[in-house]
Amino acid sequence: MKAHDGMYIGGEWRAAAGTDTIAVVDPADEQVIAHVPAGIAEDVDAAVFAAHEAFPAWAATPPAERASRIAALRDVLVARKDEIAETVTAELGAPLQFSQMVHAGVPILVAGSYAELAASYAFEEKVGNSTVYAEPVGVVGAITPWNYPLHQIVAKVAPALAAGCTVVLKPAEDTPLTAQLFAEAVYEAGIPAGVFNLVTGLGTVAGQALAAHPGVDLVSFTGSTAVGKQIGATAGAAVKRVALELGGKSANVILPSADLAKAVGVGIANVMGNSGQTCSAWTRMLVHTSQYDEAVTLAAEAAAKYGDRIGPLVNAKQHARVRGYIEKGVAEGARLVAGGPEAPRERGYFVSPTVFADVTPEMTIAQEEIFGPVVSIIRYEDEDEALRIANGTVYGLAGAVWAADDAEAVAFARRMDTGQVDINGGRFNPLAPFGGYKQSGVGRELGAHGLSEYLQTKSLQF
Ligand code: NAD
């Protein structure tokens, strides 16, 4: 695979300050496919400096002009979508069709939505005798994970640029090639030098240097709750803005009136897509006791059908971690009805689609984020119990509710402590705010809510 051996800083590929590199591995066959430079504090300094230099002119660029640059970026992503899909498949392992539809397709939608929002957003409003201006926060340090490598970059960079901010991105160690491709797209789109900068490297070195950098005005982080807590503490100590998109353990609540087969089928597909490596995946399926046995049979069949269509997990560490959780589920008394801890292939970090029945709400597999293709089916006796279970984790990122009519599902969803709920299989909306309640995070991404994260207000009184 093609890789750059430098950092994209100030509109050009510059030699890295250090000599260490990171190996990029194809998780489907465990082969090294490329190396990228491991950035150090000097690289981060140079990138933040470039972002600072570029900020005044970009912030002063009329929103319509910023919008047309973001539209040009969207057009480059469209032109290069096959290459994007192949790159994501090579370094993340997602099946090519999923990469085409989701990993390449969704960022195009999101970039397009910000091209429109940048042009139409009210950056100025009258409030009584005041004029309130929405101004860009400044230099953004963006730190992203590997599970939706391009989506998570675009969900930060597009609104930041729309707001008039400049950005330094530190992408995940496992998926830097997608980030390098994005930097090429930024260049091709004619976005001015220094407005977007890329430093590849380790989280504990380059990521930490970026989060703590005094020249960064806002840190936008997507990743694990453990790292998010550290970043939040660092940002808090510096009175710096921070947005955190963290983990999840979302509930798929199937009310007794629902179309059970559909709810179970969509629920299994929701988790198995991207091999379960989706923060908002509905990994806990809550089923009324009267339908429990039928739901377990349907879920086991749906998971078995996935079989070979599932991609590998991203790396050896995640592979060991997920298999460890499956063993823990067995040890704690849950009943395996599909899949299991054995590796289904000799090579590659594959895990079989796995379904557990007889899971109780306090079990480890029902409380902790597994980040693999594992669904836990939990029984409830009545709606109040279903709600207690649904709300009974430290997380609150997403969820689903199924019922005979939307109104019944909405009434339940309004009582859930979570940021997004799909009602009877509602479709993905790139304009809907995405983000967590409780330990799933702080702040929102996507749409106008995502744009406002990168703005601060100034009011002038007359
Ligand atoms: P991670 O927290 O280990 O890493 C995320 C990013 O942070 C990477 O770029 C990493 O290099 C960097 N990083 C690691 N340690 C750092 C440090 N000390 N300082 C600064 N940066 C550091 O998470 P991961 O394993 O890459 O991703 C999986 C996690 O991300 C899951 O828990 C998942 O739920 C979460 N996630 C959340 C969302 C969301 O929107 N809420 C979306 C996707 C993933």
Query: What's the CA-to-centroid distance between 244 and ligand 1, angstroms?
Result: 10
Which strands sit side by side in the sheet containing 124-127, from one edge to the other? 124-127, 130-136, 455-461
> For residue 201, which atom of ligand 1 is closest to its CA?
11
Q: What residue type is 446 in one-letter code?
A: L
Instruction: From 213, 219, 246, give the residue whose CB has the most ligand 1 atoms within 8 Å, as the site to mutate.
Output: 246
Residues in Cβ contact with 439 at an 8 Å cutoff, skipping those fewer than 6 apart:
225, 246, 247, 394, 395, 396
Q: Are 39 and 203 in contact (CB under 8 A)?
A: no
Instruction: Collect all residues with Cβ–Cβ distance below 8 Å to 277 and sequence separation of at least 6.
Output: 147, 313, 314, 318, 371, 372
Going from the Cα of 202 to the center of ligand 1, the distance in angstroms, rounded, reads 11
- What's the CA gap between 446 and 203, in Å, rounded? 24
Which residue has its alpha carbon closest to ligand 1 atom 23?
223
pLDDT band at 301 (very low <50, low <70, confident <90, very high): very high
Q: Which of 143-147, 207-211, 343-347, 433-437 has the lowest mean pLDDT?
A: 343-347
Residue 450: pLDDT band (50, 70, 90) is very high
Q: How far apart are CA 372 and CA 318, in angstroms?
A: 8
Q: Is 165 a known active-site residue? A: no
Angle of helix 149-163 versus helix 63-79 axis, rounded to 10: 160
**362 is annotated as an active-site residue:** no
Instruction: Using the atom order of ligand 1, give the atom closest to the CA of residue 202.
Output: 11
Query: What are 192-239's pLDDT values in tens digits?
Result: 999 999 999 999 999 999 999 999 999 999 999 999 999 999 999 999
- The predicted-structure confidence for 379-395, as pLDDT tens digits, reads as follows 999 999 999 999 999 99
Alpha helices in 61-94 (DSSP H): 63-79, 81-92
Ligand 1, pocket-test mutation among 225, 230, 277, 279, most atoms within 8 A of CB: 279
Comparing CA positions, the residue from 67, 31, 158, 154 lying closest to residue 103 is 154
pLDDT band (50, 70, 90) for residue 308: confident
Instruction: Look up tokens 């509905």; give the residue.
Output: 282
Atom of ligand 1 nearest to the CA of 234: 19
With CA atoms as reference, report the closest residue to 17 among 215, 285, 201, 273.
201
What separation in Å is there between the alpha carbon of 207 and the centre of ligand 1?
10
Cα angle 378, 382, 386; round to 5: 45
Which ligand 1 atom minimizes the distance to the CA of 245? 41
- Ligand 1: atom nearest CA of 445 is 40
**pLDDT value for 306:** 87
Q: DSSP states of 222-287 as a string?
A: ES-HHHHHHHHHHHHHTT-EEEEE-----EEEE-TTS-HHHHHHHHHHHHHGGGG--TT---EEEE
Residues 31-54: tens digit of each pLDDT: 999 999 999 999 999 999 999 999
Alpha-carbon distances, residue 247 vs 279, 434, 436, 439 (angstroms)? 5, 13, 9, 8
| Residue 308: strand, helix, or coil | helix
Q: Which of 36, 154, 222, 225 to mutate to test the pocket of ligand 1 (most atoms within 8 A of CB)?
A: 222
Predicted confidence at residue 134, as pLDDT, reads: 98
Residue nearest to atom 34 of ligand 1 (CA): 247
144 C-alpha to ligand 1 centroid (Å): 6
What order do you get walking across the sheet with 166-170 strand by strand? 12-15, 6-9, 196-198, 166-170, 139-143, 218-222, 241-245, 441-442
| Separation in Å, CA 73 to CA 36, 82, 85 | 23, 16, 17
All domains of the chain in start order, with CATH: 6-246+440-461 (3.40.605.10), 251-430 (3.40.309.10)
> Looking at ligand 1, which residue's alpha carbon is closest to its atom 39?
245
What number is the average pLDDT over the span 347-355? 97
> Which residue in the list 173, 245, 445, 453 is annotated as catalytic?
245
Which atom of ligand 1 approaches the CA of 148 most closely? 43
CA 340 – CA 239 distance, rounded (Å): 46
Question: Considering only CA atoms, which residue is closest to atom 19 of ligand 1?
Answer: 208
Place of tokens 């339908």: 291
| Three-class SS state of 356 | strand
Tens of pLDDT along 394-411? 999 999 999 999 999 999
For 413-449, give one letter per residue: b (16+ CB within 10 A) or e. Answer: beebbbbbbbbbeeeeebeebbbbebbbbbbbbbbbb
Structure confidence at residue 320 as a pLDDT band (50, 70, 90)? very high
Asked whether the predicted pLDDT for residue 162 surpasses 90, the reply is yes
Query: The tokens of 135 are what?
Result: 């101004």
**Minimum-distance ligand 1 atom for the alpha carbon of 210:** 20
The active-site residue out of 165, 279, 369, 453 is 279
Residue identifier of the C-alpha nearest atom 35 of ligand 1: 223
Task: Kindly report the average pLDDT of the chain as a whole number.
Answer: 97
- Which residue, chain included where needed, has tokens 């054995």? 342
Protein residue with its CA nearest to atom 30 in ligand 1:
223
The CA angle 57-79-200, to the nearest 5 degrees, is 60
Tell me: pLDDT of 307 over 90. no
Compute, in angstroms, the gap from residue 180 CA to the centroid of ligand 1: 18
Residue 1: pLDDT above 90?
no
Q: How far is the CA of 247 from the centre of ligand 1 (A)?
A: 9
Is the pLDDT reported for residue 94 higher than 90?
A: yes
- Identify any residues that bridge with 459 across adjacent strands, giving them in sequence order: 132
Q: Is 374 helix (H, G, I), strand (E, B) or coil?
A: strand
The set of protein residues with a Cβ atom below 6 angstroms from ligand 1 is 143-147, 170-173, 203-204, 207-208, 211, 222-224, 227, 230-231, 245-248, 279, 369, 371, 397, 436, 440-441
**pLDDT confidence of residue 311:** 96
Residue nearest atom 18 of ligand 1, based on CA coordinates: 204
